[in-house]
Amino acid sequence: MPDRLGAEAVTLRYDARVISENLSLHIPDGSFTAIIGPNACGKSTLLRGLSRLLLPEAGRIVLDGKDIARLPSREVARTLSMLPQSPVAPEGTTVSDLVARGRFPHQSFLRQWSPQDEAAVLSALQATGTADLADRSVSELSGGQRQRVWIAMALAQDTPILLLDEPTTYLDIVHQVDLLELLSKLNAEGRTVVAVLHELNLAFRYAHHIVAMRDGRIVATGAPAEIVSEQLMREVFDLSALVIPDPLTGSPMVIPRGQPRP
């Protein structure tokens, strides 16, 4: 069976600016894929293309063997959920109302709010540690709290494919690890997870599949142990670093050399 989600020779652009050209990628089913690379290299643009938030100028994004641009919106929303960077909630929206929006794709004229929807929202709130915030306004929350609430909304959508653009933004180290543990658990339960991550050592510890990008192109893809090296760090980040085994997991760990200090 072919992978469910991928890009075939796509060109992605914003107005006159081409970000990626003739880019192809397939996301392994059931994988935890981390997309890494320096700022402005096309990571978020690629994720927007995969989620249909940005339609390619050429080529196509394929979901379940079909051009995603030709699929009904509700069908796409029941298959993949997307957490973009810096989402904004309408003024006055409570946490429970925002998370409940993740259930919209599962409703219709004949199927309104149900006990299954209620259970999905409660499960998402509990999984992200935000149940105690349910009655508060989203605008009152800290950046880290808001990020966890948005993640809860994506989880409530209950899709087999979950896309997240820099989900650890605004989170302290404890909540970063908690989130990646949660994503790892969801992945172990069968969900395909794709996340843009900047924390390299956490990406290499939790992800099974790495996509390394630079200047709108894919430099390398594969398991962390297979592709992460000092040469890759130089090629992708212009970073002089030592790559050693993580003492806890054995996954690659990057230690920047930096500049000698007097």
Residue 117 in any domain: the answer is: no
Residue 34 in any domain: the answer is: yes
Average pLDDT over residues 50-74: 95
Read off the pLDDT of residues 135-184 as tens digits, 9 standing for 90 and up: 999 999 988 899 899 999 999 999 999 999 999 988 899 989 999 999 99
Write the CB contacts of 247 (distance below 8 Å, at least 6 apart in sequence).
253
User: Which letter, b or e, does each residue of 168-204 get, where b requires 16 or more Cβ atoms within 10 Å of its Cβ?
Assistant: bebbeeebbbbbbebbbebbeeebbbbbbbebbebbb
| pLDDT at res. 38 | 96
Which amino acid would we find at residue 59?
G
Expressed as residue numbers, the domain containing 33 is: 5-87+161-256
Residue 131 in any domain: the answer is: no
Which amino acid would we find at residue 205?
R
Domain count, the chain: 1
Read off the pLDDT of residues 173-188 as tens digits, 9 standing for 90 and up: 998 999 999 999 999 9
Residue 165 in any domain: the answer is: yes
Read off the pLDDT of residues 27-46 as tens digits, 9 standing for 90 and up: 999 999 999 999 999 999 99
Distances (CA, A) of 240 to 185, 218, 230, 231: 33, 20, 7, 9
Residue 145 in any domain: the answer is: no
Please report, for the domain that includes residue 252, its CATH number. 3.40.50.300
Instruction: Compute and round to an integer the Cα radius of gyration of the chain.
Output: 19
What pTM value is reported for the model?
Answer: 0.91
Which amino acid would we find at residue 218?
I
| pLDDT at res. 227 | 97
Residue 123 in any domain: the answer is: no
Q: Are 169 and 118 in contact (CB under 8 A)?
A: no
Q: How far apart are CA 262 and CA 249, in angstroms?
A: 34
Crossing angle (nearest 10°) for helices 143-156 and 115-127: 140
Cα angle, residue 212 at apex, residues 207 and 218 outer, rounded to 5°: 135
Residue 190 in any domain: the answer is: yes
CA-nearest of 122, 154, 135, 149 to 92 is 135
| pLDDT at res. 260 | 58
Residue 153 in any domain: the answer is: no
